[in-house]
Structure 1
Amino acid sequence: MKNEQRTVSFFLILMTIFPIVDVLNGYVLSMHYSLPVGVIYRMICFLFLVIAILLYGFRQNLYTMLTFSTIFVCGILLLIQSIVLSHTPEMIFQDSVVLIKFYLWLLIPYFVYQHQQILRTVNYDKIFVIISFLFTIGLLIPYFLNVGNQTYENSAAGYKGFYFATNDTTLAFIVASTFTGWYLVKKVGNKSGIKVFGLLALYFGNMLCLLLLATKTGILYGIILTASLFIYFVFFQNKIPTVYRVMISAVAFIFIIFIFFNGRQFIVEATVGTINRITYFYKLFDGDLVRLITSSRSDYLQGGWNYFIQSNHPFLIPLIGFGFEYRLLHFGRIGLIEMDFFDLLFSFGLIGLVIVTTMIIYFAALSLKKQSRTIYSITYLVLLIYGFMAGHVFFSALSTTLLGLVCGGIILKQGEDCK
């Protein structure tokens, strides 16, 4: 029992510190050092999860079958691709790195499933609040120290500090703000005013970070989330008397107005670059809103589809896909669509798409059960939508870690048995 508790404690620490690792990794890359901090950390996570899961043993049920069928089939598909398309050792290595990132979202919830009894005794939700805090200070501290990188290269638009990938970082703050906002609304009305103030400050920090990143999706989500939380608190938080809800809402509204007028110059400076970029690309695309909204992904999708159906193996490739590195080397920019479900199709073929989609549907079905409809259900849906529209969910180490933790939360809310 003590060994299991130590294993779970190590898992929680390992999962919680990844924002710090990503900042350190971004700093190393920015300084042009050749130390793969992120790769080393993710390899440690992967090996730990594999060893811990194997040592614990398996239950014979649907969830176990789906998880390991997905892992096995995706691995076999990459092996077949390497033979059919004559992949070089370097290509096989790069594909394996991507596959390890992909496996994280399958292994993390399975570990949670194995150790659910112990994990139910800790406040699993707080992991996301801690992650939210670490992500926020990881962006704000470099910003106020006037170091770090702009969101977009060759442009003054946005600021991402030492976080390396813009889309991944945006998604991280979307997830962080969702959990912080939910936790804030949940805690308002409790006697602990210090906790509420701390969560309010953290949520404000989340919104500030989304503003600094200055991505279209991040800013839009921040507005929608804040409005949704405000509406939920005013009209649906029945645990708090109406008078208090109205008073708190009025104070919050006045505070927001105060912040807006006193910080309007900062807000304008933070968003003007993004507005200029949108205007520039709108003119460049001759007013084509589809290309503008998708950031040219619609063009990449069309090109990727043509390569997919017109390959030298017209029967086999649609079934098994090209893999990842082959597409990048042979198709250039079109080799990465940045829409996960299409990248999944072109990389793993129809076989891979079907089995991974089955796994996705399994978690969706769990999250929609009456007893399981929680913040994890909402966040899982947000992750799927983001993955479909903007990519970087299933094949990014940062995002797959978050996705795996969210799926772990779905399992914990499900009950004792996940079949």
Structure 2
Amino acid sequence: MFQSFKSYPFHRLVKLFIVLQPILDILTYFSITYLQLNVTIGILIRVLFMTVSIFYIFFGNEHRYKKMVTIYLFALFIAIGISFILNLFTKPYFHFFSEVQYVVKAVYFPTMFCAIMLMFSEQSKNTDRKKELLSAVTIAMTITALSLFTSIITNTSSNTYTYVKLGFTGWFFAGNELSAIVAVCFPLLFVYSIIQTKAWKDFIYWIPTIFLAVCALLIGTKVSYLAILATIIIAVIFTFVYWLINLKNEKRRTIYQRTFIISLCLAIFYIVITPITPAYLNLTGDYQTINDALQAEVKEPDLSNEDVIQIENDQEKDPFLQSPLLKILLSSRNVYFEQVYTDYVHSSMWHKFFGLGYAGIYEHSPKLVEMDFFDLFFSFGIIGFLLLIVPIMIVFASMIKHMVTRVKTFFQPENILFIISIGLGLGVAFFAGHVLYAPAVSIYLAVASVLLIYNSQQKQ
């Protein structure tokens, strides 16, 4: 059985799974919206694929890091299991399905990171693996963009916001997750476009990249808009620098000149159409709201007796966390943080090491902070959190080693774009959430992380 499993081309399964991501998200949207299902086909297939990946890690490869990876995953699963059992018997309220679902989502990123990393085992085929992953992400994002455009044209799109702000999420359930997907994947599409552009006629490979940039403007969130803008500007700068560096090398000069011109045209196009999009209208609205909040903090308010009592109660809390400006910038996530932080501080030593489980000590409606690093820390404690972020620490260690030992090859546009993808993913995870414990997003972050490690290990 295990021998037949080893012979199966796991990399093809990974490519197919990545291509299917937007389709799974669309099926999830319709299942929740119209069928009111809690368990969707998207969840089932992702859990099934994670199970297949675990089998691949333990039995389907002979990578030199296999032993270390299996030890790591054993330690992670044991720590998460202890956390689950601890909270099952100690939390006054325990929503079994929600707790199990959250555990599966939390271990998804480390598991997929390990599986994809071990997939890069046959040295002669690693370049093909890299192109396969980038190609799969490009196809997935093309499906995402086309479905968003179709939903808007047919007037079947859901809205990003339920109040004053504008934006479209198409046939995707969560605007935050869709924004995170666009932010993480756009630099990967940029890399694939650069790799595939051998002549001017290859401009066709930039069409998915342009489509995804337009999607960011239509979604209307700060995350998607600013992520794309930052990626394009940095890409323009680095391709221009490399064009100048390679002026004496005719072949490389032509490549970087072409890439710089296309990147610059994309930047101009993106900036020109911004003022007529939901993203621009929402950003200007946020600016006005923040400005009003700053003025309100400076102005001496006219307080009623109820207001005085409320202020006296708030003074017992952290004034920084109660800042109106912080509430606007973090969409009130600081309020939820304070609630779970209080639970954690007053918890037992066991809970401090292994966490409070899903959403802390809730009574009626569990609510996450929606800032991934805090959620994972409070949910799984010091030990669980450190084990969950091991893949991130590996990426940073590999990046620093490459930067120190081969600085000339490190600062290439391709590496920079992978770093941007990872940086945006982790930045969104910290401020807006829905990345590290969102399988629909974390699969792309795992791809970007592994590709950066792979590039770091290559010779000049």
TM-score band by shorter chain is 0.7 to 0.9
CA shift, 1:260, in A, is 6.3
Identity, % of aligned pairs?
A: 18
Does residue 151 in structure 1 map to residue 160 in structure 2?
Answer: yes
Gaps (5+ residues) in structure 1? none
Contact between 1:177 and 1:206, CA under 8 Å: does it hold in 2? yes
| TM-score w.r.t. length of structure 1 | 0.84
- Root-mean-square deviation (CA), in Å? 3.3
3-state SS of the aligned residue for 2:169? strand
Question: Which residue matches 1:387?
Answer: 429
Residues 13-92 of structure 1 correspond to what in structure 2 (within 5 A)? 13-34=16-37, 36-56=40-60, 61-85=67-91, 88=94, 91-92=95-96
CA distance in 1, matches of 2:71, 2:252: 48
How far, CA to CA, are the matches of 2:115 and 2:264 in structure 1? 43
Report the equivalent of 1:322: 356
Write out per-residue CA displacement over residues 221-263 of structure 1, whole angstroms, 9 at most, x where no aligned residue.
22211111111222223366768967886687577657866x5
Amino acid at match of 1:139: L
Gaps of 5+ in 2: 298-323
Compute the displacement of 1:368 (Å). 3.4
- Measured in 2, the distance between the counterparts of 1:230 and 1:342 equals 34
SS state at 2:363 partner:
helix
Correspondence for 1:363 = 395
Give the TM-score taking structure 2 as reference length.
0.77
After the TM superposition, which of the residue ranges 345-354 and 167-176 deviates more from structure 2?
345-354
- Residues 251, 357 of structure 1: alpha-carbon distance in 2 compared, 3 angstrom cutoff: closer
Among candidates 114, 132, 138, match of residue 129 of structure 1: 138
Distance in 2 (CA, whole Å) between partners of 1:377 and 1:142 is 32
- Matched with 2:236 is 230
Identify which range, 392-401 or 378-387, moves more after superposition. 378-387
> Larger Cα Rg: Structure 1 or Structure 2?
2
The alpha carbon displacement at 1:28 in A equals 2.8
The answer as to 2:406 corresponding to 1:406 is no
Aligned counterparts, 1:116-265, within 5 A: 116-117=120-121, 120=126, 121-122=128-129, 123=131, 124-188=133-197, 190-191=198-199, 193-195=200-202, 197-237=203-243, 238=246, 263=273
Counterpart amino acid of residue 292 in structure 1: I
CA distance in 2, matches of 1:152, 1:319: 37
Structure 1 residues 77, 2: CA separation in 2 closer, same or farther (over 3 Å shift)? closer
Read off the aligned partner of 1:46 and give its amino acid letter: M
2:301 corresponding residue in structure 1: none
Report SS of the residue matched to 1:160.
strand
Please tell me whether residue 352 in structure 1 is matched to residue 384 in structure 2: yes
1:388 is aligned with what amino acid? F
Amino acid at match of 1:294: L
Aligned counterparts of 1:184 and 1:217: Cα–Cα separation in 2 = 23
Task: Tell me by how many angstroms 1:210 deviates.
Answer: 0.7
